[in-house]
């Protein structure tokens, strides 16, 4: 059976960190809102706590989104659960927590397609890919998720654990992403390429299409950029504003 990723209407709109223009990023509120808004897919960032739980947060620390100094990989889940991840966005969201991946699955699993970004960038050999694979299997969400990372080791590991699920290789913006955009990573056997929008060209899209890969572009919040990427036939884009993206890319739906 073809994986659901390849069946989604193109360009695929991924609500980046949930519907993060309208609710605090990477919270249950932002994910529930993406479902309510009728967005087909969302993106989230996962990390390991010191006691081996999988939590959903972008930064390695809690400073920006919780207003408190703390490093996720050095904190237990119960310490993390005491923090408020909502009020930095708007006081109306006070009390929103950093969710576990299991809580996200409980709330929106099988309601929306999920791109799980494996963000073990400060501990590239940790157990996060194994823990994520376990949760996906336990929840029987193999058709409803795919994985991405800037870390090729994490992708290689999870591909071996769940070979039927596609992987997306992320490339850093500009010069730091040159290696990832080169042909040196063909060994990784990835099914989607995820470049920064400023690095996308027709040649790049054609190259990956020849390799039967999707090209999903991050993070696109301007209508003009959405239009020009659609003209270049990219397969998907990550946006903080999925409502705008739907108006621009799928105006008749």
| Interface residue list for ligand G3P (CB under 6 A) | 16, 43, 45, 58, 117, 148, 170, 194, 218-219, 238
Distance CA 2, CA 68 (A): 44
Shortest Å, Cβ 43 to Mg ion: 6
- Stretch binding Mg ion (CB under 5 A), from 78-86, 114-122, 156-164, 180-188: 114-122
216's enclosing H/E stretch is strand 214-217
Residues 8 and 3: their CA atoms lie apart, in Å, by 10
CB of 166 to ligand G3P, least distance (A): 14
- Could you confirm whether 194 is annotated as catalytic? no
- Of 171 and 253, which CB lies nearer to Mg ion in the complex structure? 171
Residue 16 is a catalytic residue: yes
Q: Which residue sits closest to ligand G3P, CB atoms considered? A: 218
Radius of gyration of the chain (CA): 17
Nearer to ligand G3P, 21 or 140 (CB): 21
Q: Which stretch binds Mg ion (CB under 5 A): 7-15, 24-32, 116-124, 180-188?
A: 116-124
User: Toward ligand G3P, which CB reaches closer, 105 or 218?
Assistant: 218
- Verify binding: residue 96, Mg ion, rule CB under 5 A: no
Q: Which stretch binds Mg ion (CB under 5 A): 45-53, 152-160, 199-207, 208-216?
A: 45-53
Query: In this structure, are residues 27 and 99 in contact, taking their beta carbons and an 8 Å threshold?
Result: yes
DSSP labels, 146-213 = EEEES-HHHHHHHHHH-TTS-EEEE--SSGGGHHHHSGGGGGG--SEEE-BGGG--HHHHHHHHHTT-
Should residue 117 be labelled a site residue for Mg ion when binding is judged by CB under 5 A?
yes
Position 45 contacts Mg ion (CB under 5 A): yes
Size of the site for Mg ion (CB under 5 A): 2
Exactly one of 58, 88, 209, 250 is catalytic; which is it? 58
Specify burial of residue 224 (Cβ count, 10 A radius: 0-12, 13-18, 19+). exposed
- Sorted by sequence, the CB contacts under 8 Å of residue 67 that are 6+ apart come out as 84, 87, 88
Where on the chain is the footprint of Mg ion (CB under 5 A)?
45, 117
- What is the set of active-site residues? 16, 58
């Amino acid at each position: 059976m073809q994986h659901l990723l390849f069946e989604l209407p193109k360009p695929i709109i991924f609500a980046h960190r949930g519907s993060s223009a309208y609710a605090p990023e990477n919270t249950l509120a932002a994910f529930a809102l993406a479902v309510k808004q009728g967005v087909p897919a969302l993106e989230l960032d996962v990390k390991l706590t010191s006691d081996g739980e999988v939590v959903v947060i972008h930064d390695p620390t809690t400073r920006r989104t919780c207003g408190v100094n703390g490093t996720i990989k050095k904190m237990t889940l119960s310490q993390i659960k005491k923090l408020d991840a909502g009020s930095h966005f708007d006081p109306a969201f006070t009390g929103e927590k950093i969710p576990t991946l299991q809580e996200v699955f409980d709330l929106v699993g099988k309601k929306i397609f999920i791109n799980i970004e494996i963000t073990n960038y400060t501990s590239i050999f940790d157990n996060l890919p194994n823990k994520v694979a376990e949760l996906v299997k336990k929840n029987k969400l193999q058709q409803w998720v795919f994985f991405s990372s800037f870390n090729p080791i994490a992708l290689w590991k999870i591909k071996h654990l769940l070979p039927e699920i596609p992987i997306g290789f992320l490339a850093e913006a500009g010069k730091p992403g040159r290696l990832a955009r080169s042909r040196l990573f063909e060994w990784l056997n990835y099914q989607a390429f995820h470049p920064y929008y400023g690095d996308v060209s027709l040649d790049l899209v054609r190259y990956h299409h020849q390799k039967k890969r999707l090209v999903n572009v991050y993070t696109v919040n301007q209508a003009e950029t959405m239009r020009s990427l659609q003209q270049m036939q990219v397969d998907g884009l990550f946006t903080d504003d999925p409502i705008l993206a739907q108006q621009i890319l799928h105006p008749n739906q």
